[in-house]
Amino acid sequence: MKQTVFTGAGVAIVTPFTADNKINYNKLAELIEFQIANQTDAIVICGTTGEGSTLDHDEHSEAIRFTVEVVNKRIPVIAGTGSNDSAYAVKLSNEAEKAGVDALLSVTPYYNKTSQRGLIAHYNFIADRVSVPIITYNVPSRTGVNILPETYVELAKHPRIVGTKEASGDISAVAKTIALCGEDFSVYSGNDDQVTALMSLGGKGSISVLSNILPKVAHDIPAKFLAGDFKGSRNLQLEYLDLCNNLFVDVNPIPVKEAMNMMGMDVGPCRLPLLEMTEEAKAKLRASLAKHGLV
Residues classed as catalytic: 137, 165
Under DSSP, is residue 220 helix (H, G, I), strand (E, B) or coil? helix
The sign of the torsion formed by the CA atoms of 80, 93, 6, 140 equals positive
What is the rounded CA–CA span in Å between residue 159 and residue 132? 10
What is the rounded CA–CA span in Å between residue 203 and residue 199? 4
Residue 187, strand partner residues: 164
What is the rounded CA–CA span in Å between residue 192 and residue 256? 12
Residue 131: count of CB within 10 angstroms of its CB: 9
What is the rounded CA–CA span in Å between residue 281 and residue 72? 38
